[in-house]
C-alpha cells in the first residue's frame, strides 16, 4: 500500500511544544500522526475526551479587535529610543 502525504497548517508554538513532548517519548511527529489515525480508526472516534478550553485561553471580542488593529498598525505608537518610551510612560 502506497503512503499518502498529509499537509496541515499548525500554530508554530503548538507544534514546537508538542514535538518537544513527543521527543521525550522517542516519537517522531509523523509517528504520532500515524498513532492518532490508527486509534481514531480502532475506536471509531477520538481516542480521548477533549479537554474544555478555559475562558482565559479564548481572547474576548475587545482583545481580538485590538490584536487585529495592532497587526494593521492602528493605534501603535513607535519611539526612537528607550528614553522616549519611558518618558511617555511617566507623563
Distance (Å, rounded) from C-alpha 32 to C-alpha 39? 11
Q: What contacts 85, CB < 8 A, 6 or more positions away?
A: 79
Q: What contacts 32, CB < 8 A, 6 or more positions away?
A: 18, 22
* The predicted structure's pLDDT at residue 54: 72
Which tens digits make up the pLDDT trace of 16-48?
Answer: 999 999 999 999 999 999 999 999 999 999 998
Which tens digits make up the pLDDT trace of 47-74?
Answer: 988 887 777 767 778 888 888 888 898 8
Amino acid at each position: 500500500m502506497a503512503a499518502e502525504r498529509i499537509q496541515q497548517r499548525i500554530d508554530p508554538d503548538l507544534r514546537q511544544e508538542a514535538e518537544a513532548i513527543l521527543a521525550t517519548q522517542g516519537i517522531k511527529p509523523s509517528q504520532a500522526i500515524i498513532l492518532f489515525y490508527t486509534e481514531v480508526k480502532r475506536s471509531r472516534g477520538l481516542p480521548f475526551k477533549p479537554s474544555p478550553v478555559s475562558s482565559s485561553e479564548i481572547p474576548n471580542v475587545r482583545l481580538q479587535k485590538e490584536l487585529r488593529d495592532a497587526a494593521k498598525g492602528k493605534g501603535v505608537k513607535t519611539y526612537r529610543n528607550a528614553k522616549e518610551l519611558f518618558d511617555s510612560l511617566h507623563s
